[in-house]
Amino acid sequence: MIPSPLAIVALVVALILLFSVWKGGKRRTLRHIPAIQRLQRSIELSVEDGSRLQVNLGHGGLLGPQSAAALAGLTLLQQLAEIAADSDLPPVATSGEGTLMLLAQDTLRGTYQRLGIREQFNFELAQTTGVTPFSYAAGTLPSVLDRTALSTAMVGSFGVEAGLIADAAQRTEGFSLGGSNDLSAQAVLFAAAHEPLLGEELYAAGAYTNANAAHEASLRAQDVLRWAVIILLIITAVSPLLGGGQ
Amino acid sequence: MKLRAPISTAVAISFGLLVLLGIFIPDLADFRNRILNWAMLLAAMALLLGLLNLAQVHWQRIRGRETPVYSAVLLIAMVVTFAVTLLQGSDSETAEWIFNYLVVPIETSLMAVLAVSLTLAAARVFQQRTELMNTVFIATLLLLLIGAGPLFGVELPYFTRVLNPYINNVLALGAMRGLLIGVALGTITTGVRILIGADRPYGA
């Protein structure tokens, strides 16, 4: 029996609402993701030494299945902008798509307005650096190579071109964290980035950098669903051996 | 002004819900398609704004003498390509020449650069990260390379016929499916967070 997509969405909503209310005891903590912890340290260092954080949102638009990865990147951008508000140089966002650029500008402007530092915002803080995958990567490279941005987070929809940005961060001895919804990009980032985000870790970044109740709840819902899928896979694999079906 | 955030949130949530319900309720399908068509038009306009943003950033670089030559080349290429496509159409001979003899070779060159830089980056990263999974990654990579074909004219049957297919068809495929399930779960929870208004990545 295959559950309907509507039932899955309803289950996720119910789980998020449940975990928003029920915290599960004080000792429960989020699962350990080393990449996010290093990103947090890197943000603190950037704020201390006045260097710039660069958030690369990829070239995935908002009209396809890759939109969730882009939205996860925007959430991270919002939280980094809040954390790094005291820094000499505000974070910069790059994107390879128009709608994503507009949302990044809106995110930064809204965040600075909320923090009462609206004058720090300018439209160049969120840029479109190219509209094809490789032109996007090529346009992003200069700010990494001239050491303007010493911490580079790639969170969004990338292809293998993410390797060029991660390599540039390596060469300038900067920090790079990368996650994508694309499997080839995940393999490239595992090899080239300091800290790769694999699978669902990409979508969990927001819950770790500046967790609110909804983020934590969605992460717990994600964990519950992952275990449910694992158990279902094991049952499906084992049942033919026990004579439960063909 | 204070009403702006609740209104934009309400619009985002209601349109998100309508598009989602349009998948499950056939009566809403036409309405959903209309909304998606509007979104595509807006995305096309946003692309134009993105290009203007790109031009503005590089114009500022020329004026500030940061990278004047590269920025000038980019701006000239952008204006020429835009003018040619606007006047002659995207399937004209000149537009196709620009695409086939400039865009494609440049992107292919970057792909070639990627192959080299990725190898070097991986070597540097693995010097810094001495974790078990990195060792597994390198060992698997070497086994696959050995099994990819005859090595110095010598074929190693166990690697090419047994180990390589096993890694590709069993281990790698299982891992890929696991990662894809993770991505799917993350996509669902991110979407739900936006639908219930917990995440508002639109400045609200």
Nearest CA distance, B153 vs chain A (angstrom): 29
Q: Is residue A240 part of a domain?
A: no
| Contact assessment for residue B193 and residue A221, using Cβ atoms and an 8 Å cutoff | no
Amino acid at B190: T
Dihedral-angle region of residue A210 (phi above 0 means left; psi in -120 to 50 means alpha; beta otherwise): beta
Residue ranges making up the domain that contains A124: 32-212
Contact A93, A125 (CB under 8 A): yes
The CA angle A145-A149-B179, to the nearest 5 degrees, is: 90
**Sequence letter at residue B74:** L
Work out the number of other CB atoms within 10 angstroms of the CB of residue B7: 10
Higher pLDDT, A62 or B1: A62
- Taking an 8 Å cut-off on Cβ atoms, the answer to whether B111 and A134 are in contact is yes
CATH number of the domain encompassing residue A146: 3.40.50
Whether the predicted pLDDT of A56 surpasses 60? yes
Q: Which pLDDT score is estimated for A26? A: 56
At residue B2, does pLDDT exceed 50? no
Question: Token pair for residue B27?
Answer: 């009566």
What percent of chain A lies above the pLDDT cut of 70? 93
Report the C-alpha gap between B164 and B35 in whole angstroms.
48
Q: Which pLDDT score, from 0 to 100, does residue B84 have?
A: 93
Please, what is the angle between helix B4-24 and helix A5-21, to 10°? Answer: 140
Q: For A92-99, what is the mean pLDDT?
A: 92
**A160 φ/ψ angles, rounded to the nearest 5 degrees:** -65, -20
Q: Average pLDDT, whole number, for chain A?
A: 85
Q: Residue B15, SS3?
A: helix
Contact of A226 with chain B, judged by CB distance below 8 Å, is answered with: yes
Angle at A223 between CA A218 and CA A228, to 5 degrees: 120
Nearest-CA residue of chain B relative to A172? Answer: B121
Residue A186 lies in a domain: yes
Q: What residues 51-110 of chain A have any CB closer than 8 A to a CB of chain B?
A: 61-63, 65, 68-69, 71-72, 74-75, 77-78, 95, 97-99, 101-103, 106-107, 109-110
The model's confidence at residue B4, banded by pLDDT at 50, 70 and 90, is low
- Residue pair B114/A163 in contact (Cβ under 8 Å)? The answer is yes
pLDDT of residue A1: 62
Q: What is the pLDDT of residue B123?
A: 80
DSSP secondary structure code for residue A79 in this structure: H
Q: What is the pLDDT of residues B62-115, one digit of tens each?
A: 988 777 898 999 999 999 999 999 999 888 999 999 999 999 999 999 999 988
Give the pLDDT score at B162.
Answer: 87
Percentage of chain B with pLDDT > 90? Answer: 31
> What ipTM describes this predicted complex?
0.84
Least confident of A142-146, A155-159, B181-185: A142-146
Kindly report the average pLDDT of chain B as a whole number.
Answer: 86
In which order are the strands placed within the sheet that holds A92-95? A126-128, A92-95, A52-58, A149-157, A175-180, A195-197
Is A37 or A101 the better-scoring residue by pLDDT?
A101
The neighbouring-strand residues paired with A93 are: A55, A126
Higher-confidence position of A98 and B8: A98
pLDDT at B37 over 90: yes
pLDDT at A240: 82
Give me the pLDDT at residue B1, please. Answer: 41
Residue among A131, A163, A201 whose CB faces B114 most closely: A163
Residue A21's pLDDT is: 81
Burial of residue A243, with CB atoms counted within 10 A of its CB: 0-12 exposed, 13-18 middle, 19 or more buried: exposed
Beta strands in B46-170 (DSSP E): none
| B:48-107 residues touching chain A, CB 8 A cutoff | 48-51, 53-54, 56-57, 60, 67, 70, 103, 106-107
* 3-state SS assignment for residue A185: helix
Give burial (CB, 10 Å; 0-12/13-18/19+) of B183: buried
% of chain A beyond a pLDDT of 90: 23
Q: Which residue of A has its CA nearest to B190?
A: A68
pLDDT exceeds cutoff 60 at A41: yes
Place of tokens 């003498």: B65
Asked whether the beta carbons of B187 and A65 are under 8 A apart, the reply is: yes
For residue range A170-216, list pLDDT tens digits in order: 888 888 899 999 999 999 999 888 889 998 888 887 777 766 777 88
Q: What is the pLDDT of residue A28?
A: 58
Supply the pLDDT for residue A29.
65
**Helices and strands, number each (H, E), in chain B:** 9, 0
User: What is the Cα A147 distance to its own chain's centre?
Assistant: 22
Assigned domain for A244 exists: no
How far A177 CA lies from chain B's nearest CA (Å)?
12
* Cβ–Cβ under 8 Å, residues A48 and A83: no
- The pLDDT of residue B124: 77
| A242 lies in some domain | no
Kind of pairing between the strands at A92-95 and A126-128:
parallel
Residue A74 lies in a domain: yes
The structural domain count of chain A equals 1
Q: Estimate the share of chain B in helix, then strand, then coil, as percent rounded to the nearest 5.
A: 85, 0, 15
| Distant-in-sequence, close-in-space partners of A229: CB < 8 Å, separation ≥ 6 | B181, B185
Q: Who has greater pLDDT, A245 or A57?
A: A57
B188–A97 C-beta distance less than 8 A? no
Considering only residues A127 and B150, tell me which one the structure prediction assigns the higher pLDDT: A127
- A24 — pLDDT class (breaks 50, 70, 90): low
The two structure tokens encoding residue B18: 């309508």
The pLDDT confidence band at residue A118, using thresholds 50, 70 and 90, is: confident
Q: Is A173 contained in some domain?
A: yes
Q: How many CB atoms lie under 10 A from the CB of residue B43? A: 18
